[in-house]
Chain A
Amino acid sequence: MIKFLLKGILRDKTRSLLPIVVVSIGVMLTIALSAYMKGAFGDMIDQNARFDTGHVKVMTRAYLENKNQMPNDLALLGVDSLAQSLRQDFPDYQWVQRIRFGGLIDVPDENGESKGQGPASGMAIDLLNESSGEAKRLNIETSLVSGALPTQSGEAIIGHDFAEKLGLKVGDEITYFGSTMNGSMTFQNFKISGTIRFGAAVMDRGAVVVDITDAQQMLDMQDGAGEILGFSKLNVYDDEQAGRMAEKFNAKYAGDSDEFAPVMLPLKQQNNLGEWLDYADMMSGIFVFIFILAMSIVLWNTGLLGGLRRYQEFGIRLALGEPKGRIYRNLILEAVLIGAIGSVVGTILGMAISYYVQVVGIDISGFLKNSTMLMPSVLRAKVTPELFYIGFIPGVLAMVFGNMLSGIGIYKRETARLFKELEV
């Protein structure tokens, strides 16, 4: 019987083509959008983790409160021993110290006169010690546009666009002006070892990257750091695990009312990322729901039209002794077959598009010129195994649902009345 139905579907193009096209398009869009959302939000989370939040981050309570002002006067002190104890308590994570700092970059000419200036947003990381993994984590090597990584104290990498604006190239000297942890003025000369483009608008605006030891000296914060970041050695963010760690760590300081006591935050509780993730899940859910609904309505209508066209056929089948319940069931079976064909086509197309967007990406840097959110400049889709069913199942369901609705007329009517209507 399935063979009989399949023959009908394949030969009667007017019966099958439109539904197959509708299902294919719906499934394709569902998959492409899901992959795109997954990819975009996944990249966003990943980039936030690497550049800003870590999988968990330790700061002082006061620093946390004023985080956006890069308040190094509220930084952690005694970080080496704190980091040591973190390594002991949580050996599955790698712990690194970072300092963020603001200030001014000045470019001196031969006579020491200023020939250009710009506001800088600095990041100090453990650059010179390769075991920290920081250079790799921030993709510094692959993001270099010119020059190389600093190999010694006193060298800095600066954002490529920033360098161009100030007319700087590798080997030039720059002077940093800023204030120390205690609020007094400080300046320090750096030699540019390389220029870089991170591919994140927020980072690329006025970026200066120096080694953390240099920064500690320059900002007068020996054994201090704004943040200690923890990264899972498995390199994936596990929200539950991060939450448990934070709970355990924070419990130690629960009775401490000191505003400089350290506090640990998992990624999801920083930068509203948790809300973003929930939002992404919700949006995906809404997309899928809307597609099923829209597809069902379209398919219901094509089912009705197809049903009208096939009244004569149903009449013949009724007269030949096919019970109308079975006609109805075969109609649904046909819908399953058509839905499956459309879903296969749609899944293949959707996967192809997703894969293309995963490999090539969509450049959104234009939209991010003034963005303060840490987002990748090139959005990429992510092809995951769930894409195989995320479109397929709704595709088949929509087709079946649409045809169930349109077929109900046949099922409900009296055989005699139906046959009269079907008669030509």
Chain B
Amino acid sequence: MTSETIISIENVFKRYPVGDGEFTALKDINLQFKRSEFAGLVGPSGSGKTTLLNIIGSLDSPTEGRAMVLGKNISELSHRESAWLRNKHIGFIFQVYNLLPVYTVFENVEFALLLQNIPADERKKAVMKALEWVGLADMAGKKPDKLSGGEGQRVAIARAMVKKPEIVIADEPSANLDAANTHAILKTMKKLNEELGTTFLFSTHDEKVMGYLERIVHLRDGYVEQDEIISPKSMTT
């Protein structure tokens, strides 16, 4: 069975106005990602990883070229449509775990479902399930400041996964974690990738993370230096 392409980046440029001129952060990017890939953008700081992930996540749009995500042209989406795409189909995990401090673990994970107007009992079931995936069901009532760094990032994974999105974007998820926690969260994500078929797109320059990736796209100065398939799963199954 051949997986369909769900992300297609075609001749994408991203330019930022800087002073009188422009700075080109992405230069003629061409990339395709298929369903249930476990892939990463790797490159030094400033190479354009976040910029590209934000375009795929519909938080930003290309200056030139076309970015198709789940059949939608990112450039043509209204605010409302791009919010809808993020809400329904894309989960985000950031470098800092970014939990809302006044809400409990449960409420943080619940928020995405609240936006979808899902009934309370269904929400509860889904949230508890997501917390079980990351092994934090017993922490549901805790506030974020009572969690360790690794636990916080696992809550962030649960929050990204609770709505069962098709794509999860993880921008340097291990930057603030020690080795043990890094391995723990990557194992969790790998498991979810296998069980639910969710596509994971990382950005990282962490060797430990790279060890889990099935495909590594090397970025340098805004262009693709190398597109490296490590394990064949992402191509065919």
Which residues of chain B are near A419, meaning CB under 8 Å?
Answer: 54, 59-60
B125 interface residue per 8 A CB criterion: no
Q: Which of B53-83 contact A (CB under 8 A)?
A: 54, 57, 59-61, 79-80, 82-83
Which residues of chain B are near A254, meaning CB under 8 Å?
Answer: none
Which residues of chain A are near B184, meaning CB under 8 Å?
Answer: none
Closest to A316 in B: B98
Closest Cβ of chain A to B70, distance in Å, is: 13
Closest Cβ of chain B to A131, distance in Å, is: 71
B1 interface residue per 8 A CB criterion: no
Bound-state CA distance A325–B159 (Å) is 22
Question: Hey, what's the 0/1 contact readout for A316-330 against B, CB within 8 Å counting as 1?
Answer: 111111111110000
Q: Which of A318, A321, A415, A424 is the one whose CB lies under 8 Å from B84?
A: A321
Are the CB atoms of A424 and B96 closer together than 8 Å? yes
Q: Which of A312, A313, A416 is the one whose CB lies under 8 Å from B59?
A: A416
- Pick out which of these stretches binds chain A: B37-45, B111-119, B146-154: B111-119
Q: Which of A388-424 contact B (CB under 8 A)?
A: 415-416, 419, 424
Are the CB atoms of A323 and B98 closer together than 8 Å? no
Which residues of chain A are near B82, meaning CB under 8 Å?
Answer: 415
Bound-state CA distance A319–B170 (Å) is 12
Q: Which of B86-141 contact A (CB under 8 A)?
A: 86-88, 90, 92, 94-96, 98-100, 102-103, 107, 111-112, 114-115
Which residues of chain B are near A133, meaning CB under 8 Å?
Answer: none
Are the CB atoms of A313 and B100 closer together than 8 Å? yes
A252 interface residue per 8 A CB criterion: no
Given A320-B87, A320-B112, A320-B115, the answer on whether A325 and B80 have CB atoms closer than 8 Å is: yes
Which residues of chain A are near B100, meaning CB under 8 Å?
Answer: 8, 313, 316
Bound-state CA distance A1–B112 (Å) is 11
Bound-state CA distance A306–B96 (Å) is 21
Are the CB atoms of A324 and B79 closer together than 8 Å? yes
Given A4-B111, A323-B79, the answer on whether A318 and B59 have CB atoms closer than 8 Å is: yes
Are the CB atoms of B107 and A322 closer together than 8 Å? no
Given A1-B114, A325-B80, A424-B96, the answer on whether A319 and B57 have CB atoms closer than 8 Å is: yes
Bound-state CA distance A228–B142 (Å) is 80
B85 interface residue per 8 A CB criterion: yes
Number of A residues with CB within 8 Å of any CB on chain B = 24
Bound-state CA distance A320–B159 (Å) is 9
Are the CB atoms of A321 and B107 closer together than 8 Å? no
Are the CB atoms of B88 and A321 closer together than 8 Å? yes
Q: Which of A1-23 contact B (CB under 8 A)?
A: 1, 4, 7-8, 11-12
Closest Cβ of chain A to B168, distance in Å, is: 12
Q: Which of B87, B92, B95, B107 is the one whose CB lies under 8 Å from A7?
A: B107
**Which of A11, A320, A322, A325 is packed against the most chain B CB atoms within 10 Å?**
A320
Are the CB atoms of A322 and B87 closer together than 8 Å? yes
**Which of B80, B84, B99, B102 is packed against the most chain A CB atoms within 10 Å?**
B102
16 pairs, A vs B, C-beta closer than 8 Å: A7-B103, A316-B98, A316-B99, A316-B100, A318-B59, A320-B112, A321-B83, A321-B87, A321-B115, A323-B83, A324-B83, A325-B79, A325-B80, A415-B79, A419-B54, A419-B59
Since A320-B87, A324-B79, A415-B60 are in contact, a sample of 15 more A-B pairs with Cβ atoms closer than 8 Å, ordered by chain A residue number, is: A4-B114, A8-B103, A11-B103, A312-B98, A317-B111, A319-B59, A320-B86, A320-B92, A321-B87, A321-B90, A321-B112, A323-B80, A323-B83, A415-B59, A416-B61
Which 8 A-B residue pairs are closest in the complex by CB-CB distance? Answer: A321-B87, A321-B86, A323-B83, A416-B60, A11-B102, A319-B92, A12-B102, A419-B59
**B-binding residues in A (CB < 8 A):** 1, 4, 7-8, 11-12, 312-313, 315-326, 415-416, 419, 424
